[in-house]
Structure 1
Amino acid sequence: MATLHLIRHGQANFSGEDYDELSPIGKEQAALTGAWLAQRGLVPQRVYAGTLCRQQDSARAALQAAGLDLPVVTLPELDELDHQNIIAAWKPEFAEMAVLRQWLRTQEQPRRAFQQVFEAAMGAWLAAAPDDARYRESWPRFQARSVQALQQMLRDSSGCGQVWAFTSGGPIAAICQHLLGMDNARTLGLSWTLANASITRILWPASAPERASIQTVNGFAHLEEKPGLLTWR
């Protein structure tokens, strides 16, 4: 049996000008995840990551902490959903992220306020027609490309014992939906619970990728070893 470790990127720089970079906590989370996996002998033969900086940087931090010098295969299908476009479609005044950041600074609990905005925007996206012109990518298309990423990794890594893939909460939730047969509401609910740098494990027989199954979802015990490293946003 081969094992695919779907690893959510470390915490992004929520309060900075560029969200698509790791916060100091995010860098530590990614490094700890790589070291933790390597210490348990779960050393990869192949490593994937989406194109986003927070995904690529998480992969590099994890590999460095694990003492591994492996190339990272870039797989665009592992990219996160376009949260900026999704929020702007729901609330056009937030089309400029600077406006949203300024509004969040006025809120007593900025992270909770953002979560409320994002949940409402995501709900509208899931309910929208597939050809709704407000969205660059529809929910069905996002689901399809997430599953495409899974299938490509299983197919291309059939001879590997261990595989690491650094991605985001959206693709992980969509892949779980595909493998577990969940509806959209449950999939959205799962996405909110996925911790930064958490690990979701998928097993498959090397000769039969179509028989892939989930072993664990959202594993974050390694992050609880140090206070302050368990985050969701």
Structure 2
Amino acid sequence: MSVITLVRHGQASFGCKNYDQLSALGKQQSVWLGEHWQQLDRRFDHVITGNMHRHHQTASGILQGLADDALPEPLEGLNEYNFEGLLTPLKQQHPGDWIDTGRPRKDYYYNMKHALDYWARGTIEDDGTDSWSSFNQRVTDSFHRICDGEHKKPLIVSSGGVIATIISALLGLRPAQAIELSLQIKNTAVSTFLYNGKDFSLTSFNDLSHLLSPDKQSHITYS
């Protein structure tokens, strides 16, 4: 029996020129998760990340907290979609759906939801590289390659869209449900599957045990 652990990256640099970097809080969230697992004596036999800075940085923070000198393996198939490649055509082609209330985080949530819906329906054809179907295919192919490998306790660090895609594929969710799921996954949240070589069982979703103590609850973030 394999235990597959999925972790969304820590808080990235929302609103900055380069989103693909963890904020100071995002780095701390990652270390806290590793320290939490260290206290539980939880170990992994393989660490895989998407090929993005925020994925690598999150894995490094987790391993720091675990006092583990493992080297994560990057896998491009676990990269997130290009959100700017979806938001730009939404704004240009569907201006009536574009929301700008001056509240950046809330506006981003609603605009991203609209863009993902159009992408799933093919109204927005691609994010600059992937169609909805090709994104789902590359993510699930990468996930199954990991699960069918020799390692029994892999840790996968990626993004919310990737994790939601994996969970939705395994649970048979509709695109609209996958979109809702992706927008609910919090930074450094943990989801876990058991795999017997044939069937998958979801045993946890969006778990934030490492951030639930009174001194850490205010550090729970979505973006």
TM-score (norm 2): 0.91
CA shift for structure 1 position 87: 0.9
Gaps of 5+ in 2: 94-98
Equivalent residue for 1:113? Answer: 107
Equivalent residue for 2:181? Answer: 190
C-alpha contact (below 8 Å) 1:89/1:135 kept by paired residues: no
Aligned with residue 128 of structure 1, among 122, 125, 132:
122
C-alpha contact (below 8 Å) 1:47/1:71 kept by paired residues: yes
> CA-to-partner distance for each residue in 1:142-183, whole Å, 9 max, x for gaps?
111111121011122x343x2211000011111111110111
Equivalent residue for 2:77? Answer: 77
Aligned equivalents of 2:77, 2:52: Cα separation in 1: 11
Aligned with residue 172 of structure 2, among 169, 178, 181:
181
Deviates more, 1:116-125 or 1:46-55: 116-125
> CA-to-partner distance for each residue in 1:50-105, whole Å, 9 max, x for gaps?
10000010001110111000011111111111111011121239xxxxxxxxx97x
Q: How does 1:130-209 map to 2 (within 5 A)?
A: 132=125, 135-156=128-149, 158-160=150-152, 162-205=153-196, 208=197
Whichever residue aligns with residue 221 of structure 2, its letter is: T
Pair 1:211-2:199 in alignment: yes
SS of the counterpart of 1:216? strand
CA shift for structure 1 position 108: 3.8
C-alpha contact (below 8 Å) 2:47/2:72 kept by paired residues: yes
CA shift for structure 1 position 117: 1.4
Aligned equivalents of 2:128, 2:64: Cα separation in 1: 37
Aligned equivalents of 1:190, 1:134: Cα separation in 2: 19
Matched residue count? 218
SS of the counterpart of 2:217? coil
Whichever residue aligns with residue 155 of structure 1, its letter is: D
Pair 1:36-2:27 in alignment: no
Gaps of 5+ in 1: 94-102
Identity fraction in percent: 26
Equivalent residue for 2:221? Answer: 231
Change (3 A) 1:133 1:214: closer
CA shift for structure 1 position 39: 1.8
> CA-to-partner distance for each residue in 1:110-168, whole Å, 9 max, x for gaps?
110111211111111111169x3674211111111111121011122x343x2211000
C-alpha contact (below 8 Å) 2:47/2:155 kept by paired residues: yes
Aligned equivalents of 1:231, 1:134: Cα separation in 2: 25
Pair 1:222-2:215 in alignment: no
Change (3 A) 1:185 1:62: same
C-alpha contact (below 8 Å) 1:6/1:164 kept by paired residues: yes
C-alpha contact (below 8 Å) 1:33/1:197 kept by paired residues: yes
CA shift for structure 1 position 221: 2.3
Aligned equivalents of 2:199, 2:39: Cα separation in 1: 28
Deviates more, 1:28-37 or 1:194-203: 28-37
